[in-house]
Structure formats: structure tokens, C-alpha cells
Amino acid sequence: MKIATESTLKTLGNYAYQAIQKHFNKILKWEKPVKKDEDPEALHQMRVGMRRLRTAVSRFEIVLDLPQ
């Protein structure tokens, strides 16, 4: 009998990169509708994503290795 002992170590850095990726993808998702300039909701959602991305980067900067 074998017991699976694979454990994935989750660090604060991993969570930081996941948060950054999530918010960056949200920004990219709204890029085309914003460029079409048909619905103000698209611009709002893109700005929300950018605000959250900025917050994630600033709050997790202690554990991130990002270029200036």
C-alpha cells in the first residue's frame, strides 16, 4: 500500500503571484470592450481590476521580486 505524500508548499509569494495574475487577466479581459468605447461598465471593470492589481503589488512587495 502506497500513501501519496505529495505536498505542495504554498508560500505567501505564491499567493501574491496568483493575485497579480488574477487581476492582470481581469484587466486584459476588459481591454477590447474598453477600446470599442460602447459601454462605460467595461471601463469601470477595467479600472477596478487595475486598482486591485496595484493594491496586490503594493501589499505583497515585501515577498515579490519585481523589477522597478
Q: What tens digit of pLDDT does each residue of 35-66 get?
A: 998 989 999 999 999 999 999 999 988 888 77
Of 11, 5, 6, the residue nearest 60 (C-alpha): 11
State the pLDDT at residue 36: 93
State the pLDDT at residue 65: 79
- Measured CA to CA, the distance from residue 15 to residue 24 in angstroms comes to 14
State the pLDDT at residue 1: 59
- Look at the block and give the residue holding cell 515579490: 64
Share of the chain above pLDDT 70, in %: 90
- Measured CA to CA, the distance from residue 3 to residue 10 in angstroms comes to 21
- Measured CA to CA, the distance from residue 61 to residue 20 in angstroms comes to 11
- Measured CA to CA, the distance from residue 5 to residue 38 in angstroms comes to 52
State pTM to two decimals: 0.75
